[in-house]
Structure 1
Amino acid sequence: MTNDAQAPALFDTMSTMRAMRRLKSDPVPEELLEQLVQAAVWGPSGGNMQAFQYVVVTDRQVMAELAPLWERCVDAYLATTGKYAPEGMDEEAYGRMVAAIRYQRDHFAQTPAVIIPCYQFPEPRVDEEGLAASAAALGPEGLAQMASTQERFQTLAEGSCVYPGVQNLLLAARGVGLAANITIWHLMLEREWKAVLGIPEAMNTFAVIPVGWPKGNFGPVRRKPVAEVLHRDRW
């Protein structure tokens, strides 16, 4: 929570936006879910291409099909990356987080809604003159660097068109009192998730966001002090 009485209300929303994994099974009204997607659509998109799509799941049968996939992905995560507390994180706090992850795993079939943001870049137009100008601007060394980072560049370019909208969605959920959290564990079994949801093979998925009314309370997030992460003018 900010101590600045003049800070915008949005700051209070951000500072209390915990990842909420314990959800009530009560349904979320369709109009609220559409508001969340609307907030996501308002987010910036590279070149304003807006090539995103959002799959919203509320059907109990579909959720029951996704639940075993979620369980496998969570178990795979907990067996490796999620096995130990990150450096500097309190063990007790980490234990509470893992307990919440397991709760969500065990009750996933009762999740009121799940939102899956998707994105697929349009096919690029071939512009020989433009490519030549781009190469000239970068120079030989720059071209070599670009070649070595092309795959990462593509991934980040798509992500930068999706995740600002996802953050808008999470903030909107918090603003209307809904609990939500972002995960990417589904990528371990993305093909199976796509098959259940009918998502085209060429479409990339970027998150699975469970949404519902919280069982617990919102509260201040625990984050590093700004002084530990801020570099002014240079590293």
Structure 2
Amino acid sequence: MIDTTTTSPATPSAHQPPLFDTMSTMRAMRRLKPDPVPDELLDQLIQAAVWGPSGGNMQRYEYVVVTDPEVMARLAPLWKRCVDAYLATTGKHGPEGMPEAAYARMVAAIEYQRDHFAATPALIIPCYRMPELQTDDAGVQAYVAALGTTAAAELAGTQERFTALAEGSCVYPGVQNLLLAARGLGLAANITIWHLMLESEWKDTLGIPADMRTFAAIPVGWPMGNFGPVRRRPVSEVVHRNGW
């Protein structure tokens, strides 16, 4: 995620629950120590993810957890290709409003993680398989009646996007839980989707079934640096009350 703001970070008040402090200091930490992360802590991260909601409470998620250095070494060239492709598209300058120095620090952290990926202690890949919905003629007729003919036709044209968002809504709440749990346990983690540029190769390397979709690649480890306040746009700039 690219932080495009130069505004001051939010400061949780003493009356807010501890979770607010966790969220407001949950930076994307890309410089990781090579020290291993105990399996019991990784299990806690997955437990936090499993507590997240999923559509219809179907719970069709699966999590691939990589800790074997040999497997990580096989993934490292794929990671490098994906990161290089990403950096090639972002340009030499950051987005409008982001100081050049801040952008340079972000790129340096991404490059560091790229160059040291084989030493990543753990990598978590959330997966999801959406079942095919079985609808009879009566169900289709009721569906069209509820939406209206025009809206039903428009939705048919965006079905691919609707399906992708439906799957994502079943996965990403759990991913956010995982990231919050990592921060709470003192672990560094950051969400990426760069692997999707070479998803079939990643799936082949990890033996992930062809019909299983992957939604992120999350490096996890002990941070080299310190957690600190995130810098985000203030609420007053992003909220639209009762309409746009």
Spell out the pairing of 1:58-69 with structure 2 (5 A cutoff): 58-69=67-78
Q: Which of 81, 91, 116 is matched with 2:125 structurally?
A: 116
TM-score by length of 2: 0.94
Q: Which amino acid aligns with 2:194?
A: W
| Preserved CA contact (<8 Å) 1:52 1:120 | yes
**In the alignment, is the contact (CA less than 8 A) between 2:72 and 2:120 conserved in 1?**
yes
Cα distance, 1:18 vs. partner? 0.1
Moved over 3 A (4+): none
Alignment correspondent of 1:192: 201
Equivalent in the alignment of 2:104: 95
In the alignment, does 2:184 pair up with 1:175?
yes
- CA offsets 1:146-199 (integer angstroms, 9 cap, x no match): 112111100000000000000000000000000000000000000000000000
CA contact (8 A) 1:40 1:165 kept: yes
Structure 1, unmatched stretches of 5+, are: none
TM-score calculated relative to the size of structure 1: 0.98
* Counterparts of residues 3-18 of structure 1 (less than 5 Å): 3-18=12-27
Q: Give the match for residue 161 of structure 1.
A: 170
Please give the per-residue CA displacement for 1:114-151, whole angstroms capped at 9, x wherever unaligned. Answer: 00000011122232211110111111111121112111
User: Is 1:22 equivalent to 2:31 in the alignment?
Assistant: yes
| 1:207-222 pair list within 5 angstroms | 207-222=216-231
Give SS of 1:80's match: helix
Match of 2:40 in 1: 31
CA offset digits 1:21-44 (Å, max 9, x no partner): 000000000000000000000001
Separation of aligned partners in 1, 2:101 and 2:235: 23
User: How many residues were matched structurally?
Assistant: 235
Contact 1:181 1:209 in 2 (8 A): yes
The answer to whether the Cα contact below 8 Å between 2:82 and 2:194 also exists between their aligned partners in 1 is yes
Superposed CA RMSD in Å reads 0.9
| Alpha-carbon distance in structure 1 between the residues aligned to 2:111 and 2:43 | 28
| 1:144 aligned counterpart, secondary structure | helix
In the alignment, structure 2 segments of 5+ residues that lack a partner are 1-9
**Distance in 2 (alpha carbons) for counterparts of 1:230 and 1:4:** 21
Q: Indicate the residue corresponding to 2:95 in structure 1.
A: 86
1:107 pairs with one of 111, 116, 141: 116
Distance (Å, rounded) in 2 between the aligned partners of 1:213 and 1:94: 23
Distance 1:156 1:3 in 2: 31
Distance apart, 1:3 and its partner CA: 4.0
CA distance in 1, matches of 2:242, 2:71: 50
Can you list the C-alpha shifts for 1:41-94, whole angstroms capped at 9, x where unaligned? 000101101110000000000000000000000000001135431121111101
Map of 1:55 onto structure 2 = 64
Distance 1:77 1:83, change over 3 A: farther
**Equivalent runs, 1:142-157 vs 2, <5 Å:** 142-157=151-166
